[in-house]
Amino acid sequence: MTHWVEEPPRRFFPGRGADSEIGRERANRFAKFVVSLVLLVLMGAGGAVSASEGKGPGSVASDWLDLYAQMLSRHTRAVDAEVGTEVDYAAIKDDPDWRLLISQLASQPSGGPSEPSAKLAFWINVYNLFAIDWVVTHYPVASIKDIGSFFRPVWKRVAGHVGERAYSLDEIEHEILRPMGDPRIHGAIVCASISCPNLRREPYRAETVSEQLDQNVASWLARPKKGLSIDRSARIVRLSRIFDWFEEDFGGLPGVLKFVGRFASAEQRRWLEENRADFKVEFLRYDWRLNDVPPRTPSTE
């Protein structure tokens, strides 16, 4: 198996140590958390617009998932390019409903739901929402990695609150989602970069999360520069570097190839089955540039 030299993974493993990082940052972000909760209370007390009164840019959904769905519809677009989904971070930054959404999420019970499907959908949504919020808060920025530093990477810093509990992206991924044992999460959580899986333009929901994950993994692998490509003449299979970083979640390389075959196109699946003992695996370079609408800021790497 051939490995290309590349920088450390987008999400450092293991995620331990996030709690101590959270402790150091809690005071810095607590004021923002309190302001968000006050905003939510005031809007509720003042007769905020209900979802039934309209779904336009000025409307406020009673359910945070409904409002998140509105924001995704309003400020993202599907494109026929490797990024798959572009996010209009500048528009989100200027949309007052975004801060309301963060407030509504902060008002959810700490720990989130316990039922497995609901838990899976909830924390995928939270991860993606917090990643977007990191970029929105620091926009304009060339890459989400630029928000952190070598000693305090963005993944380990406080990203937001659910209830009174502070979470980092690292903690959500490594201490909540990965232990659930469903490797399809790697095709759903999006760290605001071009080589991430396509950001789904609707929230994940408990009743449909399994079908949504299947669809998202398939659409991710369909992108040859970031998902899966096969050079038949050279007999080389090139995969997302995510499969290298998290190979153990798939049961090693044989498990990776089985997983990929499950979600690849019919033609690719057939080729992999017929040539399983006679090809080399390489991993694609990771494009850390922001999954922003054009023009994109040049990468700092």
pLDDT digits (tens, 9 = 90+) for 214-247: 999 999 999 999 999 999 999 999 999 999 999 9
> Which sign does the torsion angle of CA 167, 169, 175, 176 carry?
positive
Percent of the chain scored above 70 by pLDDT? 77
246, 201 in Cβ contact below 8 A?
Answer: no
DSSP for the chain, please give it: ------PSPSS-SS-TTHHHHHHHHHHHHHHHHHHHHHHHHHHHHTTPPPGGG--STT---SSHHHHHHHHHHHHEEE-SSTT-EEE-HHHHHH-HHHHHHHHHHHTSPTT---SHHHHHHHHHHHHHHHHHHHHHHH-S-S-GGGGS-SSS-GGGSEEEEETTEEEEHHHIIIIIIGGGT-GGGGGT---SBTTSPPPPSS---TTTHHHHHHHHHHHHHT-TTTTEEEETTTTEEEE-THHHHTGGGGTHHHHHHHHHHHHS-HHHHHHHHHTTTS-EEEEPPP--SB-BSSSPPPP--
Mean pLDDT, residues 46-61:
38
* Distances in whole angstroms, Cα of residue 301 to Cα of each of 6, 145, 194: 12, 10, 14
131, 169 in Cβ contact below 8 A?
Answer: yes
Mean pLDDT, residues 262-273:
97
Per-chain mean pLDDT for the chain = 85
CA neighbor of 224 nearest in space, from 214, 236, 213, 233: 236
Q: Is the pLDDT of residue 122 over 50?
A: yes
- What's the per-residue H, E or C state across 177-226? HHHHCCHHHHHCCCCCECCCCCCCCCCCCCCCHHHHHHHHHHHHHCCCCC
Q: Is the pLDDT of residue 15 over 80?
A: no
Rounded to two decimals, the pTM is 0.81
CA neighbor of 85 nearest in space, from 215, 185, 248, 236: 215
pLDDT band at 2 (very low <50, low <70, confident <90, very high): very low
**Residue written as tokens 């977007």?**
132
Residues 178-220 pLDDT 10s:
999 999 999 999 999 999 999 999 999 999 999 999 999 999 9
Percent of the chain scored above 90 by pLDDT? 74
Per-residue pLDDT at 14: 37
Strands 165-168 and 158-162: antiparallel
**Which is more confidently placed, 25 or 239?**
239
Q: Which tokens is 14 given? A: 């293991």
Residues 62-87 pLDDT 10s:
489 999 999 999 999 999 999 999 99
Q: Is the pLDDT of residue 42 over 70?
A: no
Mean pLDDT, residues 124-148:
97
Per-residue pLDDT at 65: 96
Per-residue pLDDT at 296: 55
Q: Is the pLDDT of residue 21 over 90?
A: no
Per-residue pLDDT at 287: 98
Mean pLDDT, residues 266-291:
96
Per-residue pLDDT at 277: 80
Per-residue pLDDT at 298: 53
As beta bridge partners, residue 161 has 166
The span from the first CA to the last CA of the chain, in angstroms, equals: 26
Per-residue pLDDT at 63: 87
